[in-house]
Every structure is written in structure tokens, then in C-alpha cells.
């Protein structure tokens, strides 16, 4: 074979090599998850990627209402996990998600900055007019849950600020920008605040559903991630949700 042709073939092989590797199938899953799920979901996703080499999972955390709005507006995603069933039902009813499965539960707690400078001792102290209270907005699952708690206790909420996700409530309390806040038990367990339990007769339970989105281009991989999430919450996985303070479904 002429030397010139040999060199040309070798050059072509070198060019084709990286290109061939780059065309290997690799799934990239996009997950939209409620902000309160960050700690356990980061761990669940890490386990999933370890067990599914070649699959990358990207998670976007935000308030459930914002995530549902993103789905309705056509944002490309594969899996949705919300902090309540009402928000998920709206997505399912619009034909944008498959049948959801509940994988965890949560309840509410009162949190104060470390040292509890305002001297909050109980849930009913939140009715004091001179207390700076921060909660989630009513359209957000954690805000709707806070309203149910207040209604059960027989007093109205008078927050100085309403946030779009529970992690923002927690951050403001941690920073001392509020005297108290109402968050999920799992968020209170993250530390940096003092926690005051809410009596069972006044508390409320939220149920977290997860579903594959109808527009997913990675059906099998998305279904496997949904199954891994459900398994973790029901005691058949590593128990990341329980370790983060969530209850079983």
C-alpha cells in the first residue's frame, strides 16, 4: 500500500475514534423535585447513577408550584416529584404525567433562630401580633400546610413574609431575619435552628408523589428512577428519606 494512502487511513481512523466514542448512547435524565427533597434526593440520585453507569441525572429543586408551572409551560424533563398530591394532580389532569406513586410523607414544625431570641415556646405563640413570622406562600404546599395547622389551632397567620419554597423560610429563620417560621419536620432536622414540635391534633401530614413525565424521551431510565425513589421511601432501598426525617408513605 502506498505510504501516502496509509497515512491518510491512519488519520481518518484517529478522527473517527473520538467521534465513535461520542456517539455511544448515554441517557441524561432531568428531574424536577420539591426543594424540601434536596438532601435525600441528592443521595438517591448518587446511588442511581452508581447502579446505572452511562446515565446522568440532573435535578432542579424549587417550590412544587413553580415546578408544575415549568412542566405546563413545556420545560423538558423526565421525572417530577412534588411535596403534595394536589400539585401533582394538576399536572396529571393536564395529561403531562403518568400515574404518580406516593413515596414519602412529612409533617410540620415551628422553627426559631438558635437561642430562640423571641422566646417562642409553643405553636400558639405564633398568634402574637409582635412576632415576626415567615411561612411559605399559600399556593405552595408548605404554605397550604401551614394554613391547615393554624386553622386547626384556631388562629390566623400574620406573616411578615411569604416565600415560594420551604428552604427560603428556613434560610430566613437561620439568618435571624424572622422570629419564627413553619417548615417541614425534615427541613427542621437539617440544623441551624431550634425546633418546637406541633401537637398531633394541630399538625398535618403531606404526601409526596413522584411520576414520569409524559414527554420523557428516556422512558425506561425514568421509570427506573421513579422505582428507586419509591423503594427508598418504602424501606426497600437505602433509607435516605427516613434518614432525612421523612415518614413512610
**Helix 85-93 / helix 141-153 crossing angle, nearest 10 deg:** 130
The whole-number pLDDT of residue 12 equals: 40
The answer to whether the CB of 128 falls within 8 A of the CB of 157 is no
Helix (H, G, I), strand (E, B) or coil at 155: coil
Torsion angles phi and psi, residue 233, rounded to 5 = -75, -20
Q: What is the pLDDT of residues 14-30, one digit of tens each?
A: 334 443 343 334 789 99
For the chain, the distance separating the N- and C-terminal CA atoms, rounded to the nearest angstrom, is 70
**Helix 219-233 / helix 38-51 crossing angle, nearest 10 deg:** 120
For the entire predicted model, the pTM comes to: 0.84
The whole-number pLDDT of residue 23 equals: 33
Helix (H, G, I), strand (E, B) or coil at 178: coil
Contacts of 167 (CB under 8 A, 6+ apart): 35, 36, 38, 61, 187
- The response to whether 61 counts as a known ligand-binding position is no
Bridge-based pairing of strands 101-113 and 193-197 is: antiparallel
Hey, what CATH class is 23-105+207-243 in?
A: alpha beta
Q: Which of 7-11, 74-78, 109-113, 174-178 has the lowest mean pLDDT?
A: 7-11
Q: Give 75-106 as a DSSP string.
A: ---SEEE-SSHHHHHHHHHTT-B---EEEEEE
Torsion angles phi and psi, residue 22, rounded to 5 = -70, -15
- The response to whether 208 counts as a known ligand-binding position is no
Delimiting residues of CATH 3.40.190.10 domain(s) in the chain: 23-105+207-243, 107-205
- The response to whether 36 counts as a known ligand-binding position is yes
**Mean pLDDT throughout 89-104?**
98
pLDDT at 7 over 50: no
The whole-number pLDDT of residue 125 equals: 96
Helix (H, G, I), strand (E, B) or coil at 174: helix
Which CATH topology does 107-205 take? D-Maltodextrin-Binding Protein; domain 2 (3.40.190)
Amino acid at each position: 500500500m502506498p505510504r501516502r494512502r496509509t497515512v491518510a487511513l491512519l488519520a481518518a481512523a484517529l478522527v473517527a475514534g473520538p467521534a465513535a466514542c461520542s456517539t455511544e448512547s448515554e441517557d441524561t435524565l432531568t428531574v424536577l423535585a420539591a426543594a424540601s427533597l434536596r438532601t435525600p434526593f441528592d443521595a438517591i440520585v448518587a446511588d442511581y447513577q452508581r447502579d446505572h453507569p452511562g446515565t446522568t441525572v440532573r435535578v432542579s429543586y424549587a417550590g412544587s408550584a413553580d415546578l408544575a408551572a415549568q412542566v405546563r409551560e413545556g420545560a423538558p424533563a423526565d421525572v417530577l416529584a412534588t411535596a403534595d398530591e394536589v400539585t401533582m394532580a394538576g399536572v396529571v389532569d393536564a395529561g403531562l404525567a403518568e400515574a404518580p406513586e406516593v413515596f414519602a410523607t412529612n409533617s410540620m414544625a415551628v422553627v426559631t433562630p438558635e437561642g430562640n431570641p423571641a422566646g417562642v415556646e409553643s405553636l400558639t405563640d405564633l398568634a402574637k401580633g409582635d412576632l415576626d413570622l415567615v411561612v411559605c406562600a399559600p399556593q405552595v404546599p408548605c404554605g397550604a400546610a401551614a394554613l391547615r395547622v393554624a386553622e386547626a389551632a384556631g388562629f390566623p397567620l400574620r406573616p411578615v413574609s411569604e416565600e415560594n419554597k420551604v428552604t427560603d423560610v428556613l434560610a430566613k429563620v437561620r439568618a435571624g431575619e424572622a422570629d419564627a417560621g413553619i417548615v417541614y419536620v425534615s427541613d427542621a432536622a437539617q440544623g441551624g435552628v431550634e425546633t418546637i414540635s406541633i401537637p398531633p391534633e394541630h399538625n398535618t401530614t403531606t404526601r409526596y408523589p413522584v411520576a414520569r413525565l409524559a414527554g420523557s424521551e428516556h422512558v425506561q431510565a425514568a421509570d427506573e428512577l421513579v422505582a428507586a425513589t419509591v423503594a427508598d421511601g418504602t424501606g426497600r432501598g437505602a433509607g435516605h428519606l427516613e434518614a432525612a426525617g421523612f415518614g413512610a408513605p
